Amino acid sequence: MNHRNVFVVLGVVCLAVGSGTAWGATIHVRSTAISDSRGGGCDLIQAIENANADAAIHSGCEAGTGPDVIELEPATEYVLEQYHSFDNGQNGLPTISGDLVINGNGSVVRRANGAGPFRIFY
């Protein structure tokens, strides 16, 4: 299998979800740019970082508050140009450190053509 051609189609992805979990904030991803540090939008990396921190470290995103839900824009493509973090290997997105649901709404998260190998989620 050629891993460069593998992509993730997100419907509803549940990560580290336990039974009886009371959900916290809903964080809306508003930008398809990845790691757009100029503010104003809320990209997928910033949304995960806010969820991990249980805070609004990126002002364009809602603050995380415990187990969170991230909502992606419907039928949108999120392209990762390079890895973002290194935790037991190269990862395209920040390491998810707590209970989190990502509602994909028919969106795709994938590596850019020509990008080196890295996993999407860890």
- Each residue's pLDDT, cut to its tens digit, for the chain (122 residues) gives 333 333 344 444 444 444 556 788 999 998 887 654 555 689 999 999 999 999 999 999 999 999 999 999 999 999 999 999 999 999 999 999 999 999 999 999 999 999 999 999 99
Q: What is the DSSP string of the chain?
A: --GGG--EEEEEEEESPPTTPPP--EEE----STT-TTSSS--HHHHHHHHHHTS-SSTTSPPP-SSEEEEPPTT-EEEE-S--EESSSEESSPPP-S-EEEEEEEEEEEEPTTPPP-BS--
Q: What is the pTM of this model?
A: 0.79
